[in-house]
A and B are shown apart, each in its own frame.
Chain A
């Protein structure tokens, strides 16, 4: 018995929503980066599930690229957080509010 694609996609959509909620709700910079990782990996899961359904390897190749992108993004994001922490001794992003109109 194989798990139907629908189950994977619903699961991926839930993961994606949890990640998006994390980005929007959490105030710690690290948690926001985690939320973004969750969103990207939810999309990966959907890609792999659809790839199996279509019997193609394209989607799995795509997933490797997404992993590389996610790694690069987190590297830059963490570097920014280190610089922000040095500046204001905190990674609470609510304190990034110098600019107002």
Chain B
């Protein structure tokens, strides 16, 4: 270890320290609890500033982590998500009388896990970032309303599925290590290039197990069954966080793993499998979402479908595909957080379902939040001029350029199906009359701020995508040198 190693991970260190400070402050100076959200948000901003002003030395810590522009891109969007979630969590926690400071501490720990995962260049670091840092904090956050049956149920289900998935991943890692004799992705790439290992049963079994572990965490079909319950039962700000941050970090890790192995003979065997998973996720996610009556469950199935679209960018692996995946992650983050921010303000009690029918007529009563929700729905459906359209266009174009036009066709058809249930939300907001005894929803200013920022991003990046595109291209260049 030398000082430059420490400098390279300064943002992560800052967040770990601030997370620990918040957890301790909750125990010793509870009077400061109302300020914790601001502290967590400020820490995330400071970490982002450190990342953008700090060095990008490439491989550090003996090759365990790679601090490159790709990592910087992913860090940026993780930290944006942390700031937005910290803002909407304030009024939510105050309202649900669960104003404990450890919420923000765990949020920061979880964000550090995602940031470590996105930089991992070693199977050991992938495992630690995924499980120890990212997921274990999230299990606690899911069950944060410990008096609420649904919240505990969500926490337990996420824990069992998450632990099961990481055990699969771990056994896969063990088998891969047995075949290659190294944990480092860079060294694995060299070993695979030198020796034809494609038919090695250890490699095949190891990759299959690791893929199943990734599939669980990304909620891809057939590993998706946990998602609706966990989305519905978790506190809404936590759902917003867990729907974007772990998935984004996992997808980038998957891209790093594929980049290490793909140029070799492994590719032709695995890409049809990934393509099948992508299509199954799109079709099943969109079809089952139609049947949902709860907004959060609907967004869970929509999330399954969206990870299917993003996976198309991995299947069409190459520069265009990776750019598509990165833009998709950024777009998915703003539109999902916009939707969940509005839902968190549109729900009275956590134990009750968040029915789509309860949105009836709210469009005229809560014009600003309803407009943001409608915009998020159009963006999730991929209708121009929103950022959701740009993202879908990029991944499908990458698929066509790689000679996988059929994959793009299926994706576009699945998107058509999805328009139905996204637009139904808009229909309820604006076309249905307000019921006699409409629930008195709150509209706290932090939620308005987040909704406004996300709405601006959805339209702004949809009309002027070049800024996001340039950032994604700079990031993608580092992986595919």
Contact = CB atoms under 8 A, between A and B. Distances in A.
Nearest to A84: B152
Contacts of A9: 175, 178
B37 interface: no
B139 A46 contact: no
Interface stretch (B155-163, B243-251, B269-277, B325-333): B155-163
Given A62-B127, A97-B153, 6 more contacts: A39-B168, A39-B171, A40-B167, A46-B175, A87-B152, A99-B232
Ranked 7 nearest A-B pairs via Cβ: A39-B167, A50-B178, A46-B174, A43-B170, A54-B181, A43-B171, A96-B153
B152 A83 contact: yes
Contact of B124 (A49, A50, A62): A62
Nearest to A93: B156
Contact of A76 (B146, B159, B181): B159
Contact residues of B: prevailing secondary structure: helix
Interface of A: 5, 9, 12, 16, 19-20, 23, 29, 32, 36, 39-40, 42-43, 46-47, 49-51, 53-54, 56, 58-59, 61-62, 65-66, 68-69, 72-73, 76-77, 79-81, 83-84, 87-88, 93, 96-99, 101
B82 to A, nearest CB: 21
Contact of A88 (B149, B171, B175): B149
Given A20-B164, A39-B171, A62-B183, A83 B132 contact: no
A57 to B, nearest CB: 12
30 contacts: A20-B167, A32-B160, A36-B167, A39-B170, A42-B171, A43-B170, A43-B171, A49-B178, A58-B124, A59-B177, A65-B127, A66-B170, A72-B136, A73-B136, A76-B136, A76-B140, A76-B159, A77-B156, A77-B160, A80-B143, A80-B156, A80-B159, A84-B152, A87-B149, A88-B149, A93-B160, A99-B153, A99-B154, A99-B228, A99-B232
B50 interface: no
A101 B228 contact: yes
Interface in B280-331: 291-294, 297
Nearest to B351: A98
Given A76-B140, A80-B156, A19 B167 contact: yes
B229 interface: yes
B147 interface: yes
Contacts of A69: 127-128, 131-132, 136, 166
A66 B131 CA distance: 9
